[in-house]
Every structure is written in C-alpha cells, then in structure tokens.
C-alpha cells in the first residue's frame, strides 16, 4: 500500500461472496487502496449488533484479489471494529458498506446491517457511506451502480462529511440511462406493518416467518428518499447516530419533577 492513496475499508452485510460487494470493491480500487473485512455469511437485519457472547474468527480470503481481504464470523459492525483495531495500519480515510441487495429506505435504516457498518465508521470519526440497490435478487443488475458509487465516494473523499455523519445511499433498480440524477433527501416517515406467519416444520413443530409490508405516511412528498427512488433518482440521506429527539424537550420541560 502507498500512503499517497486514500485507505478505504469495504464491508457489507450480505457476506463477502455477495455480488454487490464485488462491484463496490472494483469501484473503490479506482479511488484508493482497498481493504475488505466482511461477514462470512449473510447478516441482513443485524442492525448495530455486536458479538459479545462468543468468539469472533477472522480468515484471510482471496475473493477479490486484494492483498488484505478477510471474512469474519462477526456482524457488520464487528467487521469495522476489527479493521480499525486489529487489521489496518491507521484509521481509513473512508468506510463504505454494500452494495446491499435490497433497499434501505425510511425506517429500514434502524434494522440495516449495511447502514450500521457505515454508522460505526461515523462513530469512529471516519467519513462513511452505506450503498444499497433497490433489488433484493441475488441476480440483481448492478451495472448502473458503479459510476454513482464512484462519484459519491469521490466527493466524500474530496469534501469530507460533517462530524458524526454518514450517508445512506439508495439506488433505484433501473438502467443507467433511466436514472434522473442524485438527490439529497430526508428519511421518509413510515413503518413496517409486520406479520408473523406461523408454519410447521416436517416434525409438526411450529415456527414463525417474519413478513409484512411498508406503510408510507408521506406519499407524494418530493423531499423524501422513497419518493426519490420511486421516481428514478438516487436518494442520499445524511444520517447521524445522535438519536435525541430535541423537539421533545419543549414537552418534557412541562413535567413536574
């Protein structure tokens, strides 16, 4: 590695063999020296989980032809922690996570391992971005993603991000020629209407499968991430780990304590 190039950490939550991370690695190699540490298996929906009740294993890999590339038995956040504390010679100049198979719009950021890995980078004071393609298929077409990923990551390297901020980037699953541009958005106000589908295994023992549908409470609001992706734009939402609801203080200050 050369000190002249930016040091870029790549991770994800779909696992080190997922097609999306391969696209991301290739794009980042145009911008700097790349190190990969990613889960050894899919870790979708892990949120900001960390491993504390059992050991974490790290294994040298060669899936993407890099000098430093590892799979981990830990979560996406574990991967970032391992990179910063054990593997990298210094803090990276950029942390990128993805490209996720499926969107991480609206409230999904709370559950997303992809975005949580980027958030961990932000907590460490590192400019970080989580990338997602709005297509859950393992055969998803990532051809439109590379120029977008390179452009956004390049701007982050050039201009930086506010302290504690990471970017949540969602790319619509359409051809490159149909993408209308990149929009800075806010998170859509909505939530998942969840159902627990009860089934039985071959032995007759019941188990549950989480399903549901997303309820958009702001249909037609053009400043939101869901609207942007639904209308052919790449949605970029700045996210912060401070979850304080500041406007609630006006209400709480009326309490008699």
pLDDT in tens, 30-84: 999 999 999 999 988 889 999 999 999 999 999 999 999 999 999 999 999 999 9
Which candidate, 4, 8, 7, places its Cα nearest to that of 21? Answer: 8
Task: For residue 8, list its beta bridge partners.
Answer: 34, 94
Which helix (H) or strand (E) covers residue 198, if one does? strand 190-200
1 pLDDT more than 80 = no
- Report which of residues 213 and 237 the model is more confident about: 237
| C-alpha to C-alpha distances, 256 to 13, 220, 242, 250, nearest whole angstrom | 45, 41, 26, 13
pLDDT at 4: 79
**Strands 181-184 and 128-133: what pairing?**
unpaired
Tokens of 65: 């032809």
3 pLDDT band (50/70/90 cuts)? low
This prediction has a pTM of 0.92
Task: For residue 35, list its beta bridge partners.
Answer: 9
pLDDT at 212: 81
User: Could you give the percent of the chain with pLDDT greater than 90?
Assistant: 84
Which candidate, 235, 255, 23, 9, places its Cα nearest to that of 144? Answer: 23
Q: What are phi and psi of 23, to 5 degrees?
A: -65, -40
């Amino acid at each position: 590695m050369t000190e002249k190039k930016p040091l870029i950490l790549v991770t994800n939550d779909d696992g080190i063999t997922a097609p999306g991370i391969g696209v991301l690695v290739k794009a980042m190699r145009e911008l700097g020296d790349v190190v990969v540490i990613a889960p050894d298996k899919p870790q979708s929906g892990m949120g900001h989980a960390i491993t504390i009740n059992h050991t974490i294993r790290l294994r040298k890999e060669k899936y993407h032809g890099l000098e430093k590339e590892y799979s981990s038995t830990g979560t996406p956040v574990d991967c970032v922690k391992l990179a910063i504390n054990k593997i990298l010679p210094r803090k990276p100049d950029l942390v990128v996570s993805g490209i996720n198979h499926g969107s991480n719009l609206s409230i999904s950021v709370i559950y997303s391992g992809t975005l949580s890995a980027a958030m961990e980078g932000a907590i460490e004071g590192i400019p970080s971005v989580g990338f997602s393609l709005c297509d859950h298929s393992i055969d998803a077409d990532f051809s439109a993603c590379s120029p977008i990923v390179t452009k956004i990551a390049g701007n982050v390297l050039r201009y930086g991000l506010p302290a504690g901020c990471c970017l949540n980037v969602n790319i619509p699953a359409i051809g490159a020629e149909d993408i209308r541009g990149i929009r800075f958005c806010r998170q859509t106000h909505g939530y998942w209407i969840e159902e627990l589908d009860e089934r039985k295994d071959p032995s007759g023992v019941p188990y549950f499968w989480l399903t549901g549908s997303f309820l958009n409470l702001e249909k037609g609001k053009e400043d939101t991430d869901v609207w942007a992706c639904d209308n052919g734009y790449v949605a970029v939402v700045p996210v912060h780990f401070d979850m304080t609801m500041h406007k609630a203080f006006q209400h709480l200050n009326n309490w008699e304590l």
